[in-house]
Amino acid sequence: MKKRRLFRRILVANRGEIACRVIATARRLGIGTVAVYSAADRDARHVTLADQAVCIGPPPSRDSYLAGARILEACRATRADAIHPGYGFLAENEQFARQVLAAGLAFIGPGPEAIAAMGDKIASKRLAAAAGVSTIPGWNDAIDSPEEAVRIARDIGYPVMIKASAGGGGKGLRVAASDREVADGFVSCRNEARASFGDDRVFIEKFVEQPRHIEIQVLGDAHGHCVWLGERECSIQRRHQKVLEEAPSPFLHEATRRAMGEQAVALARAVGYQSAGTVEFVVGRDQDFYFLEMNTRLQVEHPVTECTTGIDLVEQMIRVAAGEPLGLAQADVRRRGWAIECRINAEDPFRNFLPSTGRLVKFRPPVATMAAAQPVPEDGGVRIDTGVEEGGEIPLHYDSMIAKLIVQGHDRGDAIRRMRAALNEFVIRGISSNIAFQAALLAHPRFVAGDFSTGFIAEAWPRGFTPAELPGDDPDFALALAAAVEHRALRGGRERRTPGRRAPAPWTDYVIVVRGEEGARSEHAVRVEDGDGALAVAINGRSHQLRLLSPLRDIALHGECDGEPFCAQVERVGPEYRIAHNGLVVRACVLTPRTAELYALMPHKSPPDLSRFLLAPMPGLLVEVAVRPGQKVLAGERLAVIEAMKMENVLLAARDGVVARIAAGAGESLTVNQVIMEFE
């Protein structure tokens, strides 16, 4: 069959890392690219990577990335002949796909009929059942009121899952185990769904306890060919949003894997699917599996499939949209190695994962040895998919993802080791990130053993994630490293000495002071001795051999400790060293013994008491104030709701009290730490 010419120019109707990802493959295929951007993204990375760029509106998504008419106008202005929608925004919008085709352009995704069939979660479950796909028990009609939702939930039996029909990405989804949770969750789901998707229909289904969230990648073309490319394990979630994904799953039996793949292909064939798509399943502890939904687009976590199969999914989407048949059959699909992806998000894990916005003062990812749209090296490596650069802004208008960090290893243990090393090298400053949390995840014994479900994070950290929850390193390591760096920095200036003067002693004594909460402090006597290219550091009755292999100016410092390689982030901040390793951060002063005596006399300055105020923990839109002046509130009671980075964040009372005054009203845009209300 004669191949059609691939496209001359593709417009990427998206932003951030996925726009950069599509541009990478298009460039490799010799196809020109057009970026669209909002005013907030004027200097974004995807804008500079594309051959052309068009501003399509102000920062709010509804006025830019969701404005289909403006995107089509940008196509006409740049003479693009195809649109790739990425994921999110208009990627699964049936009406937009129809408009693209009506304009004589190619839509690099499935046809609008398939989007419509799978975009409605209620209708898609019926279609899946008709295609012979296992489906979960539930109420598959739209529900009109909280009272009706409670009645249905009681009939199904708790726990239940409340889901928006057009939902996705964790929005419009709640798990409820009581009448009150159903009523509250129903209202929140409808509100989120209406705001995010313009469709507030909600349904309820049985929640499978200890479930796994496992998805099958499929590819279909216009010539009747359809294959599945293995599975992705996506059970590590927080608030129903994926945090870490891997391929393959450490849980599935081969027979289960094959049955899920065959059912995914059956569903894709039933809707005439032509592109890359994902069929998501919930899998019980007994390996029974049930259809959840089909995502008619490229998934955020697609790189782990690319790494383990060697197939560029974006390229396949482009070729299928150009009319080419798939260049592979099911027998050609081979899996190699193990891949893990960590989503690096702009959020503070130590403050209940509140969004963090602002300027990326430093953004230095680990050295990449794999890249999107490039062959995977035989021995695996590290890949970074990102849409940001150092000095760029993380705006509050869009989701919180900074980058995706992907590694491939020979097996799961090797992939975990590589990911932990890569996280230690990843330097982000200016905003908070979830790197420490990802490091803790990878070190947790249950994760290492592959013993987890979608409830793992809540089970592992039931009281929330705090620095105390981080797995402990060798308690000497960070302090010994701080002493070694200080010693090397000082010795670097003492290489020359005046002739005739006695040589300095081969060792130096230090005192390391670590100051904790409420002024608590600990002191550690350290002796550092110069050796043959290494330093002997004696601390807490033990001796360590440290070899520093990076220039001290590097934040990500490589070296060896007792013969084992390490990478730790080391910075001088005022009088302290800030040492970060495996998620743990230690702040320590390295002093001479006499300076330590004087330092002990310095008083501790306590932070101001702000417990009387409810402060905005992030910039965002105040969408609800749930209390009034003079009202008594109890600890845990709902006080206000802030919308930021496309998610609703509920602020709860930390303790019992009485509201004295309300300082901000619903609809007001808040800055971080702005006073919302005051208590008596």
Neighbouring-strand partners of residue 168: 171
The confidence score (pLDDT) of residue 603 equals 81
The confidence score (pLDDT) of residue 70 equals 98
Query: Does 76 have pLDDT greater than 70?
Result: yes
Neighbouring-strand partners of residue 523: 513
Strands (E), 549-609: 556-561, 564-573, 576-581, 584-591
Q: Which of 469, 427, 170, 385 is nearest to 293 (CA)?
A: 170
Residue 41 burial class via C-beta count within 10 angstroms: exposed 0-12, middle 13-18, buried 19 and up: buried
Strands (E), 381-530: 381-386, 393-394, 401-409, 427-429, 507-515, 521-530
Query: Does 503 have pLDDT greater than 60?
Result: no
Write down the residue that tokens 């249905």 correspond to. 152
What superfamily in CATH does domain 137-206 come from?
ATP-grasp fold, A domain (3.30.1490.20)
**d(C-alpha 291, C-alpha 122), whole Å:** 12
What superfamily in CATH does domain 212-463 come from?
ATP-grasp fold, B domain (3.30.470.20)
**d(C-alpha 582, C-alpha 416), whole Å:** 12
Least confident of 25-39, 257-271, 500-514: 500-514
Q: Which of 25, 8, 60, 69 is nearest to 39 (CA)?
A: 60
Per-domain boundaries in the chain: 9-108, 137-206, 212-463, 477-493+505-599, 613-679
**d(C-alpha 597, C-alpha 600), whole Å:** 5
The confidence score (pLDDT) of residue 358 equals 86
Query: Does 219 have pLDDT greater than 70?
Result: yes
Inter-residue contact 78 to 52 (CB < 8 Å): yes
- CATH for 477-493+505-599, among 3.20.20.80, 3.30.930.10, 3.30.700.30, 3.40.50.300? 3.30.700.30
Inter-residue contact 260 to 214 (CB < 8 Å): yes
Listed in sequence order, the residues at least 6 apart from 679 whose beta carbon sits closer than 8 Å to its beta carbon are 612, 613, 614, 657, 658, 659, 660
pLDDT in tens, 366-405: 999 999 999 999 899 999 999 999 999 888 888 889 999 9
How far CA 418 is from CA of 239, 427, 443, in Å, comes to 27, 16, 12
The confidence score (pLDDT) of residue 517 equals 65
Query: Does 276 have pLDDT greater than 70?
Result: yes
Instruction: Tell the CATH topology of 9-108.
Output: Rossmann fold (3.40.50)
Band (291; pLDDT cuts 50, 70, 90): very high
3-state secondary structure of 523: strand
**d(C-alpha 412, C-alpha 247), whole Å:** 9
pLDDT in tens, 578-590: 999 999 999 999 9
The confidence score (pLDDT) of residue 493 equals 47
- R_g of the chain, CA atoms, integer Å: 27
Which amino acid belongs to residue 351?
R
The confidence score (pLDDT) of residue 2 equals 46
**d(C-alpha 231, C-alpha 262), whole Å:** 12
For the stretch 455-466, what's the b/e string if a residue is b when 16 or more beta carbons lie within 10 angstroms of its beta carbon? ebbeebbeeebe
- To the question of pTM greater than 0.75 for the whole model, the response is yes
Query: Does 498 have pLDDT greater than 50?
Result: no
* Active site positions, annotated: 293
Inter-residue contact 231 to 215 (CB < 8 Å): yes
Inter-residue contact 457 to 469 (CB < 8 Å): no
Q: Give the architecture (CATH level 2) of 613-679.
A: Beta Barrel (2.40)
Query: Does 455 have pLDDT greater than 50?
Result: yes
The confidence score (pLDDT) of residue 209 equals 81
Query: Does 108 have pLDDT greater than 50?
Result: yes
- The token duo for 50 is 């594309």
Residue 63 burial class via C-beta count within 10 angstroms: exposed 0-12, middle 13-18, buried 19 and up: middle
Q: For a pLDDT cut of 70, what percent of the chain falls above it?
A: 96
- The token duo for 512 is 């390391």
Band (495; pLDDT cuts 50, 70, 90): very low
* Distance of alpha carbon 594 from the chain centroid: 47
Cis-peptide into 248, omega within 30 deg: yes
Band (566; pLDDT cuts 50, 70, 90): very high
How far CA 210 is from CA of 33, 412, 561, in Å, comes to 44, 22, 40
